[in-house]
Structure 1
Amino acid sequence: MMSNLFSVFDPTSTMNMPLNWTSTFMGLMFIPMSMWLIPSRHLMVWNLLTTKLHNEFKTLLGSNKKSKGSTFLFVSLFSLILFNNFLGLFPYIFTSTSHLTMTLTLALPLWASFMLFGWINNMNHMFEHLVPQGTPSVLMPFMVCIETISNVIRPGTLAVRLTANMIAGHLLLTLLGNNGPTITSSLLGLLITAQILLMILESAVAVIQSYVFAVLSTLYSSEVN
């Protein structure tokens, strides 16, 4: 019996070694094998997905020469988050994306690098973003404050959005699963059906949150060019 509902997200260790974080890189184990095998349906779907993402990110970044090659960074970011989100749905595998330690590690360096690049190379362009076009002169000081705050909290919103969505689904699955031993046999089928539907929903959330994180990072990058 769990003393705390959130204990399912606690990192576990073996011989005082935090081996649970190695699940972050488990997705990399499947990539090298696919490179040497005959192209399968799984590999063809993955290639199609990454190509579509590459074209979409290229459109979002525009035709700026400074941003060439950046799409591969965001496609890799999408792949890393997607692997971790899906692996967290398997039993006894640590969900690293449900911790702010992981999500902030992804969001903060990206945001900091965008800000450094923008303020060093395009300072006038960055100042223009603080006052939207058509803002009345009276509201300009307030708009600068609002835009500055919204810019500063961007890495936090990226990290918290991903973490909160991962935790919410896992908590629902845990709550329903804990009722299994005490529920009546007549309601057991309903519980299993609800769990299956929640797993389908969580699979969709895993893809959507990976896509949202990568797209927002791409949009933040396009603003500094």
Structure 2
Amino acid sequence: MTVAVVQFGGSNCDRDAVRALEHLGIDAERVWHEDGLPEDATGVMLPGGFSYGDYLRAGAMAARSPIMHEVREAAAAGTPVLGVCNGAQVGCESGLTEGAFTTNESARFQCESVHLRVENAGTPWTAAYEEGEVIELPIAHGEGRFEVSEERYETLVEEDRVLFRYCDAEGNVTPEANPNGSRGNVAGIRGESESVGVLMPHPERASLSDLNGSTDGAGVLRGFDRV
């Protein structure tokens, strides 16, 4: 397996993503968006950063890059696709998943460690955990608030497409544990296919060692080995 880590102008977590994946024994390579997906790509990761300076809306311009048509086709064919932070914004903007990530309720950039409760352990991205398990990952975003219509939110819940919710250390999902005001404390969701997932926290920054306080993100990245 070779995971193509797509680099847009303004991406800044692509090297981190490649290093974390290779640390876990998963082949990965950076791919410039204008070059298209390599023929041997068996997975796609949309990394964090500030593609095109977040002009218009975070992820909006990158979502219109021609490579995203290839990514959507690959996803429809069952190729695993993971979007992280800006990559999650790109994923939503391109239609890989529902909703949108918009300005934090605080209207400030936030960089901190957060707790997440695993809501659905039956996907490749969450199979390393138990349902209800609490993990710790870092966030670093100014537009991380997940929004979707009430009707669509209810559908996401009914279809068990919420992967993670922000919570406290004991697993309680409360307004106080919500760092950005996301609807329903949602931190990550899957697409119509279980092989497509997006999340705002950074698993690649909690995969190499516990120097940052956690290696809990490794389980998310190992999803590329499970599809």
Interval containing the TM-score (normalised by the shorter chain):
under 0.3
- Normalising by structure 2, what TM-score? 0.27
- Normalising by structure 1, what TM-score? 0.27
Report the structure number with the largest CA radius of gyration: 1
Q: As a proportion of its length, which structure holds more helix?
A: 1
